[in-house]
Structure 1
Amino acid sequence: MAIVGSNRKQAVTSNSRGRQVGRALFSRGSWAETSRISEILRKETVGGVILLVAAGTALVWANSPWKGSYFGVRDFVLGGQWLGLHLDLSIGEWAADGLLAIFFFVVGLELKREFVAGDLRDPGRAALPIAAAVGGMVVPALIFVAFTAHVGDGALQGWAIPTATDIAFAVAVLAVISTHLPAALRTFLLTLAVVDDLLAVTVIAVFYTDEIKIWALLGALIPLALFTLLVQRGVQAWWLLIPLGVVTWVLVHESGVHATVAGVLLGFAVPVLRSAKKKGETTEISMAEHFEHLLRPISAGFAIPVFAFFAAGVNFGGLSGLGRALADPITMGIIAGLVLGKPIGIFFTTRLLAAVTRANLDSALRWVDVLGVSMLAGIGFTVSLLIGDLAYGLGSERDEFVKIGVLTGSLVAAALASLLLLSRNATYRRICNEETVDENHDGVPDVYESRQD
């Protein structure tokens, strides 16, 4: 990806006398990288639409005369305690702990790919999305603390809830409003979300682990090591890899560390630079790409929507109950963190980095475009709901407030971002048209010709 500068000469801009005045932010990258990002976002768009339908269905069901059946299904316990392992989880917990492990496996693949072969391997190019992600995490957390510091009784445990960005929800909003957001801004949004996911995994592992069983954690290293050995050797046999992945997940779950961390560790194990093989022939895609192509549709089209279905269902209790929930400091802290904290943290961190590095914005864009993307990053859903469950307990009253806060904050952030981005859509359409002109008919738009890898 090309976030800070392009691949070649456009890494800097010059004035009329030819003197270098700084690097260009949000310039176009290579066509190969832009194509890859576009493919990922298309898949996330479909998944995001399914996610919205699943969440909407859950809300309608949870507030209908048949609400009892919804909560009955969500809280129905499956499994049991076998061999001393505590796997007696409700269906809602299986969705949060089990299905989201698939999502975090894909996150692990994307993270490693970015660190090894993407922007995050280059400190100069990675500086912007990493700094923006950190700013977009710190400010919402501080706002939440400001709203809940006086409450006591463990309210501050939810400080990380408004710090996450849901990329599937965000790109679904882009699809619905039909904005022609430039490739550089879409790339920034995706890279920001990738770093955001890494921070979220770290927060979950460090701050939401109450007690660790060392024997289970050490035991998880054995199947994880075997899985790593096989994928490093190019083995793709599902009947070997899936059992090892499941055993790793079970032992991490038993250890007390949230089981989704197992998904990230397994994703990190997959090589990025080794080519995948099929029927004895080497293909042009890496092992990481191979697994990502297989699992991203499952993650985006099934795992995340099912989790959203069981996590988003909240009974408002009528207008009075909704009013009481919206007036709660936890709810207000989440809404303010998502709607105000996220864009403030991301936008002003980006402006600060630009000032410190003497970087200039790409000539086709304006700072209002960066603000629009920063507001779009205020859509926190999947990981925010997961952290809410971990902070206050699934089904608790505060967990219900979390759901109302996350849903309300995400919808408000989506609406405000949509209004701002739509006001610039004519400019985005012009940039999009420039990025699709291919007079040579070689499959590569002319504006990317000088930047091919």
Structure 2
Amino acid sequence: MRTARRERSVFLGLLPWPERVQVARALRTETVGGLVLLAAAVVALVWANSPFSGVYESIRDFHFGIPALGLALSVGHWSADGLLTVFFLVAGIELKRELVVGELRTPATAALPVVAAVCGMAVPAACYWAVTGVAGGSGAGWAVPMATDIAFALAVLAVLSTHLPSALRAFLLTLAVVDDLGAILVIAVFFTSDLNVYALAGAFVGLAVFYLLQRLRVRGWWWYVPLGVVIWALMYLGGVHATVAGVAMGLLLRTTRDAGEKASPGERTAHVLRPVSAGVAVPLFALFATGVGLSAGAMGEVFTRPEPLGVVLGLVVGKTVGIFAGTYLAARFTRARLNPDLAWADVFAVAVLGGIGFTVALLVGELAFADPAGAGHIKAAVLLGSLVAAAVAAVLIKRRNEIYRRLWEAEMRDDDADGVPDIYQRVSPGRSRATKNH
């Protein structure tokens, strides 16, 4: 007796309405955040290369805080260790939502972006090691080209695409969420030093209290904000990068709604903090992290020194190869498969777009290279590699968008000729019966 063939799950099919609302909301927010982030980076580069560069450096290196507690940091460090924690808190909430009710809630649907993200981190690191190994450079920056900047990548995709399938945006969003988790784990495991066991124990106790408050359904910001500040401070004093506290609290926040509840604690927190993250925290970090001198000699050293060259190749080549190959292997050897509305050319364009490494890449670069000169070269490499990846991806995305636009217009003409509008096919411009042979 023949057994029925088990149908493979469709990855990133048409999402339920609440999921589509969540994805659209995240895309809109990250698009705006990406544009603000870009503006802050441009201001920093112009300022640092102007006659007023001394003022920029004085502000960035100004220290304030509580010296008695070991929390007297420069403005640059407060933006990287403090404000960026808000960004990771929002990222942790989004990741928790994906794991519980989103695209990553089942192994079948999680396989494709997880494998793609892992390969998209491993291959760039291998590229960096290969370049620095052959040229005799330092291997300390291997993690710099691993991270994809979700804000910039989504901003580029949103600005350039008008007819691309919505599944492509969901793919990039899910990939970036997994990529963020990987970057956070790398920071927590490989970029910690001088561990203070007592401070770390206090941070974990604080996280346990945070979890209990969530389990007991305790509400009120006056409980969580002071507790979050204490957890952050203890995590910093414990020697672990303080942004880990943000993602840990984000993962602990409840993202499912109780009966009669209009929004979960995670949804309410993300709703409040997203504007702060996109409009204040990340732009200020970019403002004080990207101010590097871009003289002809400095840019030339990006291609003559092995460390920055490894970063550029890792972002431009490693990310593209890793994400595309990982997606193909997952679709080939697992039960998950690519959405029928997408072509492999679409995946390749997104893979190139994944080479935009900015926020987390700059953060890892600062952690990996304590020497200001070495950190400056790495920052220049991150900026150059991200610019090249964005430019190439823009060409590919515009080409794919034009193809989908022509197919959509042809379908519109067919509907007009038939006199019967195909409302189901027009739900998304990228969803077209004509895309079968694109």
* Same-fold call, TM cutoff 0.5: yes
Could you tell me which amino acid in structure 2 is paired with residue 244 of structure 1?
L
For residues 122 and 430 of structure 1, the distance between their equivalents in structure 2, rounded to whole angstroms, comes to 36
Asked if 1 retains the 8 angstrom alpha-carbon contact of 2:12 and 2:103, the reply is no
Q: Partner residue of 1:6?
A: none
Summarize the Cα distance change of 1:37–1:50 in structure 2 as closer, same or farther, 3 Å threshold: same
Stretch moving more, 188-197 or 353-362: 353-362
Q: Residues 440-451 of structure 1 correspond to what in structure 2 (within 5 A)?
A: none
Asked if 1 retains the 8 angstrom alpha-carbon contact of 2:127 and 2:313, the reply is yes
Could you tell me which amino acid in structure 2 is paired with residue 35 of structure 1?
V
1:414 paired with 2:397, answer: no
Q: Deviations over 1:308-339 (max 9, x none)?
A: 111111012x2123212332111111111111
**1:361 CA drift (Å):** 4.1
Q: Deviations over 1:171-198 (max 9, x none)?
A: 1212333443321111111111111111
- Secondary structure of the 1:89 match is strand
Could you tell me which amino acid in structure 1 is paired with residue 28 of structure 2?
R
- Secondary structure of the 1:424 match is helix
Q: Partner residue of 2:434?
A: none
Aligned to 1:287, which of 256, 262, 265?
265
For residues 110 and 117 of structure 2, the distance between their equivalents in structure 1, rounded to whole angstroms, comes to 11
Asked if 1 retains the 8 angstrom alpha-carbon contact of 2:168 and 2:342, the reply is no
Q: Partner residue of 2:250?
A: 267
For residues 203 and 339 of structure 2, the distance between their equivalents in structure 1, rounded to whole angstroms, comes to 47
Q: Partner residue of 2:355?
A: 378
For residues 333 and 298 of structure 2, the distance between their equivalents in structure 1, rounded to whole angstroms, comes to 48
Aligned to 2:279, which of 289, 295, 301?
301
Aligned to 2:400, which of 424, 428, 434?
424
Q: Deviations over 1:403-427 (max 9, x none)?
A: 1111001110011011011011134
1:315 paired with 2:293, answer: yes
* Aligned residue pair count: 418
Q: Partner residue of 2:381?
A: 405
Summarize the Cα distance change of 1:235–1:427 in structure 2 as closer, same or farther, 3 Å threshold: farther
Q: Partner residue of 1:351?
A: 328
- Give RMSD over aligned pairs: 2.7
Summarize the Cα distance change of 1:423–1:447 in structure 2 as closer, same or farther, 3 Å threshold: closer
**1:295 CA drift (Å):** 0.8
Q: Partner residue of 2:417?
A: none
Summarize the Cα distance change of 1:112–1:226 in structure 2 as closer, same or farther, 3 Å threshold: same
Q: Residues 356-367 of structure 1 correspond to what in structure 2 (within 5 A)?
A: 356-357=333-334, 361-367=338-344
Could you tell me which amino acid in structure 1 is paired with residue 286 of structure 2?
A
Asked if 2 retains the 8 angstrom alpha-carbon contact of 1:34 and 1:183, the reply is no
1:117 paired with 2:101, answer: yes
- Secondary structure of the 1:132 match is helix
Structure 1: which 5+ runs fail to align?
1-17, 277-281, 449-453
For residues 8 and 252 of structure 2, the distance between their equivalents in structure 1, rounded to whole angstroms, comes to 38
1:27 paired with 2:13, answer: yes
Q: Partner residue of 1:10?
A: none
Asked if 1 retains the 8 angstrom alpha-carbon contact of 2:154 and 2:173, the reply is no
Aligned to 2:307, which of 318, 322, 330?
330
- Secondary structure of the 1:405 match is helix
For residues 406 and 15 of structure 2, the distance between their equivalents in structure 1, rounded to whole angstroms, comes to 18
Could you tell me which amino acid in structure 2 is paired with residue 315 of structure 1?
G
Q: Partner residue of 1:62?
A: 48
**1:141 CA drift (Å):** 0.2
Asked if 2 retains the 8 angstrom alpha-carbon contact of 1:274 and 1:286, the reply is yes
Q: Partner residue of 1:15?
A: none
Summarize the Cα distance change of 1:431–1:96 in structure 2 as closer, same or farther, 3 Å threshold: farther
For residues 6 and 250 of structure 2, the distance between their equivalents in structure 1, rounded to whole angstroms, comes to 41
**1:30 CA drift (Å):** 2.4
Could you tell me which amino acid in structure 2 is paired with residue 304 of structure 1?
V
Q: Residues 87-106 of structure 1 correspond to what in structure 2 (within 5 A)?
A: 87-106=71-90
Asked if 2 retains the 8 angstrom alpha-carbon contact of 1:21 and 1:359, the reply is no
Aligned to 1:185, which of 156, 168, 171?
168
- Secondary structure of the 1:349 match is helix
Summarize the Cα distance change of 1:386–1:438 in structure 2 as closer, same or farther, 3 Å threshold: farther
Q: Higher strand proportion, which one?
A: 1
- Secondary structure of the 1:88 match is strand
Summarize the Cα distance change of 1:44–1:331 in structure 2 as closer, same or farther, 3 Å threshold: same
How much identity, in percent, do the aligned residues show? 51
**1:447 CA drift (Å):** 11
For residues 323 and 333 of structure 2, the distance between their equivalents in structure 1, rounded to whole angstroms, comes to 15
Q: Partner residue of 2:118?
A: 134
Could you tell me which amino acid in structure 2 is paired with residue 48 of structure 1?
G
For residues 73 and 152 of structure 1, the distance between their equivalents in structure 2, rounded to whole angstroms, comes to 36
Q: Deviations over 1:273-325 (max 9, x none)?
A: 2449xxxxx43322211111111111111111110111111012x21232123
For residues 445 and 424 of structure 1, the distance between their equivalents in structure 2, rounded to whole angstroms, comes to 15
- Secondary structure of the 1:285 match is coil
TM-score by length of 2: 0.89
Q: Residues 224-239 of structure 1 correspond to what in structure 2 (within 5 A)?
A: 224-239=207-222
Q: Deviations over 1:48-104 (max 9, x none)?
A: 00000000000000000111111111111111422xx21111000000000011111
For residues 320 and 162 of structure 2, the distance between their equivalents in structure 1, rounded to whole angstroms, comes to 19
- Secondary structure of the 2:139 match is helix
Asked if 2 retains the 8 angstrom alpha-carbon contact of 1:141 and 1:337, the reply is yes
Asked if 2 retains the 8 angstrom alpha-carbon contact of 1:145 and 1:156, the reply is yes
TM-score by length of 1: 0.86
Structure 2: which 5+ runs fail to align?
412-420, 432-438
Asked if 2 retains the 8 angstrom alpha-carbon contact of 1:232 and 1:270, the reply is no
For residues 72 and 407 of structure 2, the distance between their equivalents in structure 1, rounded to whole angstroms, comes to 54
- Secondary structure of the 2:261 match is strand
- Secondary structure of the 1:157 match is coil
- Secondary structure of the 1:172 match is helix
Aligned to 1:207, which of 190, 193, 205?
190
Q: Deviations over 1:203-248 (max 9, x none)?
A: 0011001221100000112332232222333334222211110000
